[in-house]
Structure 1
């Protein structure tokens, strides 16, 4: 196998797929007036509210420099509030507002619509997610076998 051919690269289909998936999400998220990264934050908060910026960053694999402007925009949209911990000013807790909670009902069908656009069934979706999650974990900087 010629390793320097584009068709033999694992990275290219992952990159192209990521762009395509984001493009499929765009019209669905435009209805909610959310960007894809904002949607990811909302997913984490809908799962469990009152997260610190650090907890969000850990869950989404994003640093605070990336998260902070994103969170500010969500706060401007009145979907979240940000509050500093009085005991530790460096820690900021993110909480859903009522509007943020209400948005969850409007987003409820997005995963189904996305899966339909992929033309895969539930079992295929589960297998693909497991494979991608395994690869992500193997590449994670915290995975000691990579160091």
Structure 2
């Protein structure tokens, strides 16, 4: 068998594995808050820009409505966010942070920061990997759009 087609040599498989491990890694910091990594990503985005429509959140996070709605439902149920109607589109709703969501930002970010610092991740290598990953994502998005 050609080495390039072995599972261990597939770039997609390494990303699949990295995704699984990132979820486990972040779960260590997020578990005390009863948050999953995808829920944390939603909160991160809302901390950057609060009060967005379902559509805006979905576009930014790259999630379809059917994937995003259950995540938002759980965040709402647990008191992190509130939803309100959008007057110009009855099919949409706006999502905004509750006081709990706003007030918890610092403590959650501290927990994540301490986790990253504890494992002594080299920040320069992290930035290099992020740059390469962003280039790869851009190339893949272009390839998918051209289908």
TM-score, structure 1 length as denominator?
Answer: 0.88
Aligned length: 145
- Structure 1 residues 107 and 142: CA distance shift in structure 2, 3 A: farther
The residue number in structure 1 matching 2:91 is 90
Give the deviation of 1:131 after TM superposition. 1.1
The residue number in structure 2 matching 1:16 is 17
Give the SS at the match of 1:128: helix
Give the deviation of 1:112 after TM superposition. 4.9
Give the SS at the match of 1:39: helix
Alpha-carbon separation, structure 2, partners of 1:96 and 1:25: 21
Alpha-carbon separation, structure 2, partners of 1:116 and 1:138: 33
Give the deviation of 1:20 after TM superposition. 1.2
The residue number in structure 1 matching 2:28 is 27
2:68 aligned with 1:67: yes
- Structure 1 residues 88 and 142: CA distance shift in structure 2, 3 A: farther
The residue number in structure 2 matching 1:126 is 127
Question: Does the aligned pair in 2 maintain the 1:75–1:82 contact within 8 Å?
Answer: yes
Alpha-carbon separation, structure 2, partners of 1:139 and 1:116: 33
What is the CA deviation profile of residues 107-127 of structure 1, one whole-angstrom value per residue up to 9, with x for unaligned ones? Answer: 12214523643x432221111
TM-score, structure 2 length as denominator?
Answer: 0.88
Question: Does the aligned pair in 2 maintain the 1:115–1:125 contact within 8 Å?
Answer: no
Alpha-carbon separation, structure 1, partners of 2:121 and 2:76: 35
Q: Pick from 100, 106, 116 the counterpart of residue 114 of structure 1.
A: 116
Alpha-carbon separation, structure 1, partners of 2:107 and 2:88: 36
What is the CA deviation profile of residues 59-113 of structure 1, one whole-angstrom value per residue up to 9, with x for unaligned ones? Answer: 1110011111111111111111111112211221101010000110111221452
